[in-house]
Amino acid sequence: MFQQPNRIDNVKAMARVAIDALHALPADALRGAERDCDFCERLVINGEVIGEDFRAAGAAILRHLARIEAEERFARELDNAMRQLRDVINSSYRVSVDLGAACATSIERAA
């Protein structure tokens, strides 16, 4: 049969796309969120996208981007970056919850 792609690898790929979308924004759009962006990018490079640190940094970036009144020239890029980031945060959370449930189930079976 067909092999299912690894869900964690899918989240990692989505995170790389989200980081690329952030890099497509003008530099002044991320002014004030540089530390969160750098931290988030470091986590993506290290493959640590399932943890709470990644989701918290991503949420901080989203809050920053939501306060921006987008100029017409980069409104589409801003919307894309926010959508990509929101999607990867949600996927990270879903995988984290599923892994926790699988772990709890295997502990119950072992007991």
Domains of the chain, by residue range, sit at 7-110
Q: Find the Cα–Cα–Cα–Cα dihedral 36, 39, 44, 47, rounded to 10°.
A: -140
- 20 secondary structure, DSSP code: H
In a 10 Å sphere around its CB, with 0-12 CB exposed, 13-18 middle and 19+ buried, how is residue 93 labelled? middle
How far is it, in rounded angstroms, from Cα 38 to Cα 97?
26
What is the rounded CA–CA span in Å between residue 102 and residue 15?
A: 23
pLDDT band at 110 (very low <50, low <70, confident <90, very high): low
Residue 100 clears pLDDT 80, i.e. is over it = no
- Write down the pLDDT at residue 13: 96
- 20 vs 109 pLDDT, higher one: 20
Q: What is the pLDDT, as a whole number, of residue 103?
A: 60
Mean pLDDT value across residues 20-32: 93
